[in-house]
Every structure is written in structure tokens, then in C-alpha cells.
Amino acid sequence: MKNVIFTFFLIALLLEGCASTQITSFKDPDYQNSNFKRILIVANTNDLGNRQLLESKMVESFSKEGIFALESYKLFPPTREFKADEKVSLMLKNNIDAYLSISVGESGVSQVYIPQTSSTTQTEGNVNVNGNTANYSQKSTTTYDGGYTVGKPWAQITTNLYDASNGKMAWIATSFTGGNAYANKKTIVNSYCNKIVEKLLEEGLVIKLNIE
């Protein structure tokens, strides 16, 4: 029984969508000792669905690390027009000390051919008895491992961290996220967001605090 459960567990892991993210980043010399505490997340896209997904998932990644973050669509409702000085005023009013700008570059799905590696043939026999006569028939079914094409999603994203007090860029990063054959858009976004937060913590640009 334990072996059966373990086998199902392995199959579930193999079928689970996963992705990995590689990041190249640079921190401005003026911000070597900066620890931002309240971050506004800004996804630069006109697609409202993608904006909400990116901002919400990034906030979730920050929150898991005990860092305050807020979606820009909540502070700047997309149903309204805001001037630059109005945005600055709202950020200061909400004690935002930095904002993270997300710009998605090229993205797509790579088609990868999985070569055939092996095959398995299963044969089933059947006997039909009619009076004193017995007829035997059999059917063979062959299944193949490989020999098909899968799609693997990917995305290139540029991320900038700005000091809200003066508008200066404190940090910039370019990233590439690639998923396996079972990954989707959410898998890519989750990997990207988690890696960005991990990198910002590693480089000492954000600090863990109790979320107010």
C-alpha cells in the first residue's frame, strides 16, 4: 500500500507545473544601505487581467516574507485619471517609500519535441465457447513513451525599484522565467514574483516587518 501511495505521489510531482527564474540585477551605489518597508507594486500593462495577476501575486510573495506591499490598482483605480503629482501625493499619504515597476518584455511558448524512448505492448486474450467448439482471439495494444511535442511557456521581465521620496531608481533587474510542459501563465508569474522578492531581500533593499 505504501508503495502505491508513493508512486501516485511521484506521478503528481511529475505532472505538476513548475518554473524557474534567472535574474541579473544591479543596485545603485547610493542605495547600498537602504531598507524599504512599504512597497507599491506597479505592473505596466494595459491588460487589466494581467495587471491584477502580476500585482496581486507580487503582493502575495512580499506578504509571505512579512513585507508590506500594495497593488497600484487599489491605490490608483484604473477607472480614474491621475496626474504625476497626484500619484506622488497618494503614495506619501499611504507612507509608501518605494515602488516596484514591472514591465513584461517578450514572452511565448516554446515547442519542444519529446523523442520516443520506449514502447509497451499489452496483449489480452478471449475464449468463446460455442457447443464443442472453442475460438480464441487476442488483441494487442501498444503504448509509446515520447514521440510528441509539448509547449513550455516563458517570459522576459524587467523590474525596477524606485525611491518614492525622489523618484530615483534604486535597483534594476532583468529576468527570464521558463516553465515545464505542465506550466501556465500563473506558474510563470509565481516563480518570477518569488524570485524577485528573494533577490531584494538578499541585496538588502527591503526589510521584514510586521504588516500593519
pTM value?
Answer: 0.76
What are the distances in angstroms from CA 125 to CA 129, 135, 143, 153, 206? 13, 11, 18, 44, 68
Contact between 206 and 68 under an 8 Å Cβ cutoff? The reply is no
pLDDT (0 to 100) of residue 125: 65
DSSP-assigned letter for residue 206: B
Question: Alpha-carbon distance 120 to 81, whole Å?
Answer: 63
Q: What angle do CA 107, 87, 57 make, to 5 degrees?
A: 35
183 Cβ neighbours under 8 A, 6+ residues apart: 17, 18, 19, 152, 153
Note whether residue 42 is domain-resident. Answer: yes
Note whether residue 83 is domain-resident. Answer: yes
Concatenated DSSP letters for the chain?
-HHHHHHHHHHHHHHS--EEEEEEEEE-GGGTT--B-EEEEEE--S-HHHHHHHHHHHHHHHHHTT-EEEEHHHHS-TTS---HHHHHHHHHHTT--EEEEEEEEEEEEEEEEE---EEEEEEEEEEEEETTEEEEEEEEEEEEE--EEEEEEEEEEEEEEEETTT--EEEEEEEEEEE-TT--HHHHHHHHHHHHHHHHHHTTSB------
pLDDT at 37 over 50: yes
What is the tally of structural domains in the chain?
1
pLDDT band per the 50, 70, 90 thresholds, residue 132: low
Which domain covers residue 185, as residue numbers? 23-113+149-202
pLDDT band per the 50, 70, 90 thresholds, residue 159: very high
pLDDT (0 to 100) of residue 11: 37
Note whether residue 209 is domain-resident. Answer: no
Element holding 83 (H helix, E strand): none
pLDDT band per the 50, 70, 90 thresholds, residue 197: very high
What are residue 81's phi and psi, to 5 degrees? -100, 135
Note whether residue 184 is domain-resident. Answer: yes
pLDDT at 103 over 50: yes
* CATH code, 167: 3.40.50.10610
Note whether residue 208 is domain-resident. Answer: no
pLDDT (0 to 100) of residue 195: 98
Note whether residue 156 is domain-resident. Answer: yes
Mean pLDDT along residues 60-86: 96
pLDDT (0 to 100) of residue 124: 72
pLDDT at 118 over 70: no
Note whether residue 120 is domain-resident. Answer: no
Q: Of 35-39, 105-109, 133-137, which one has max mean pLDDT?
A: 35-39
pLDDT at 184 over 70: yes
Note whether residue 44 is domain-resident. Answer: yes
DSSP β-bridge partners for residue 161:
100, 171
